[in-house]
Amino acid sequence: MRVGPLREGTFRSALHEPRTAVVIGRLLGAALLTCFVTGLLSHVLQQPPDWLRDHLPSRPVAGYRVTQGLHVISGIAAIPLLGAKLWTVYPKLFEWPPARSVAHALERLGIALLVAAMLLELFTGLLNNVQWYPWPFPFRQTHFWLGWLATGGLLLHVSAKAPLIGAHWRRVRPGSAQRRAFLGTVGAAVGLVTVTTAGQTVRWLRPLTLFAPRRPDVGPQGLPINRTAAQAGATTPPPGWRLTVTGPRPYQLSLAELTAMEQSESELPIACVEGWSAGARWSGVRLRDLLDRAGAPASARVRVTSFEAAGPYAVSEMSASYARDPLTLLALRVNGEVLPPDHGYPARIIAPNRPGVLQTKWVSRLEVI
Ligand SMILES: Nc1nc2c(c(=O)[nH]1)N[C@H]1C(S)=C(S)[C@@H](COP(=O)(O)O)O[C@H]1N2
Ligand SMILES: [Mo]
């Protein structure tokens, strides 16, 4: 077969054929599906639709730590898999004639969109992991919609190719040594990027985090920081700082008064959307005690406001399931020490099963809604 404008025999490898594409495609599909489902979960926890926001569970305690860890691990693993998949099929880019029929042209257009969405999705995710946003569009919305586009495109692609996939699903004997070597190399690449990055969330892989942008134990009190107090303009609380709690019986408390209240301890992780997570021992006042004191109804939601100058995470809201959880604290201490400015001095929120972006630091105000 003549291959496009290229000479016959241009693509010499015997691996540019459906069986290789099917084997790699299955692994890639599993990684992308994991990534999509955990990504949706993260999106819902961060910005729940109105009908769902009062039903989000505060358990399991480390739920978000696990799902977001999986999101970033599967996303990173998908990168070498996608590379291998595209290499396997790229001779088809030079198919000749470029379009045999309208249906064929549409299918090729669909694949072009799918590949573009997939590449952009993994690229934006990887750069988010290293906290680098070199683009003018908002990351989260773009990543969310590209995720739908890529997954929808993938489903269409798989259904269009179903007969071919079915025909090459099973192994034929004898197998090809060349394919085994290729798949082994791809597997090794996936293993390498996984073990050198997963330590940012998996404790026992910590010594191997060669390529992870963060080690979960590097930072004040053995905890990383996403936004420092200096970056947030929150190095010192405003003069005369008091915690204001609004509700049926509003009140204010000084730091000394907060410290004199009954203190509780919670062992809870911070799990950042960017892929790192770390557990810590927090102590402070139970949020539900503060709400009870303000006469808040048991089903009330809470808006938490920070005194940070301005920033996308200066305000967060939480539903009653989190606010009433006995582990949810207005924390004053972490790992046995008073919170340093970078971790939210004088007070921060820490709650189970929540994205890090909602664990508001430098708290000045709690509003019962
Ligand atoms: N006020 C405020 N709180 C904040 C943030 C912020 O930018 N401003 N960043 C959040 C993010 S993205 C994370 S992951 C956690 C990190 O907490 P740490 O810096 O104490 O580890 O704080 C959260 N709380
Ligand atoms: Mo974060």
CATH of the domain at 257: 3.90.420.10
Instruction: Give residue 4's pLDDT.
Output: 61
Nearest CA, atom 12, ligand 1: 357
pLDDT of residue 72: 97
Give domain status of residue 126, yes or no: yes
Q: Looking at residue 9, what is its pLDDT?
A: 81
Q: Give the residue whose CA is nearest to atom 9 of ligand 1.
A: 357
Same domain for 178 and 140: yes
> Ligand 1 — pocket residues by CB below 6 A?
223-227, 232, 270, 272, 306, 308, 311, 313-314, 343-344, 356-357, 359-362
Q: SS3 for 291?
A: helix
Same domain as 241, residue 179: no
- Nearest-atom number in ligand 1 for the CA of 312 is 7
Give the model's pLDDT for residue 220. 87
Q: DSSP letter for 106, please.
A: H
Closest ligand to the CA of 311? 1
Q: Which of 153, 188, 208 is the last residue of a domain?
A: 208
What pLDDT is recorded for position 214? 83
The residue whose CA has the least distance to atom 15 of ligand 1 is 356
357 and 229, same domain (yes or no):
yes
What is the per-residue pLDDT for 165? 98
Residue after which a domain boundary falls, among 208, 229, 259: 208
Q: How far is the CA of 275 from the centre of ligand 2 (A)?
A: 8
Cα four-point dihedral sign 345, 349, 353, 358: negative
Whole-number Å distance, alpha carbon 277 to ligand 1 midpoint, is 12
Asked whether the beta carbons of 232 and 343 are under 8 A apart, the reply is no
Q: Where are the alpha helices (DSSP H) in 237-346?
A: 255-260, 287-293, 320-323
Tally of domains in the chain: 2
Residue 353, in any domain of the structure: yes
pLDDT of residue 95: 85
pLDDT at 3: 56
- Separation between Cα atoms, residue 172 and residue 243, nearest integer Å: 69
Q: Rounded to an integer, what distance in angstroms lies between the CA atom of residue 54 and that of residue 48?
A: 9
Of the candidates 156, 337, 340, 128, the one whose C-alpha atom is nearest the C-alpha of residue 234 is 340
365: β partners: 244, 305
What three-state secondary structure class fits 149? helix
Last residue of a domain, one of 208, 238, 271: 208
Q: Structural domain of residue 97, as residue ranges?
A: 4-208
CA of 112 to the centre of ligand 1 (A): 38
Tell me: do 196 and 249 sit in the same domain: no
Residue in the structure block whose two tokens are 């053995």? 222
Cα dist. 292→248, 250, 260, 359 in Å? 10, 11, 17, 21
Same domain, 129 and 232: no
pTM of this structure: 0.95
Ligand 1 centroid distance, CA of 313 (Å)? 7
Are 120 and 229 contained in the same domain?
A: no
- Distance in angstroms (rounded) separating the CA atoms of residues 351 and 330: 9
Stretches where the chain sits below pLDDT 50 are 1
Tell whether 170 and 243 lie within a shared domain.
Answer: no
What is the C-alpha separation between 315 and 198, in angstroms, rounded? Answer: 30
pLDDT tens-digit profile of 48-59?
A: 999 999 999 999
In ligand 1, which atom is closest to the CA atom of 306? 1
Residues 118 and 226 in one domain: no
Q: Is 27 helix (H, G, I), strand (E, B) or coil?
A: helix
Sign of CA dihedral 46, 82, 187, 192: negative
| Mutation to probe ligand 1, out of 131, 227, 277, 348 (largest number of atoms < 8 A from CB) | 227
- Answer for the pair 194, 76: CB distance below 8 angstroms, yes or no: yes
132: left (phi over 0), alpha (psi -120 to 50) or beta: beta
Residue with CA closest to ligand 1 atom 6: 313
Do both 243 and 355 map to the same domain? yes
- Pairwise CA distance, residues 328 & 302, whole Å: 12
**Do residues 163 and 252 both lie within one domain?**
no
Mark whether 33 and 80 lie in a shared domain.
yes
Distance between CA atoms of 110 and 155, rounded to whole angstroms?
11
Residue nearest to atom 17 of ligand 1 (CA): 225
Same domain for 226 and 360: yes
Which amino acid, one-letter code, is at 269? P
Q: What does residue 314 show for φ and ψ, rounded to 5 degrees?
A: -70, -20
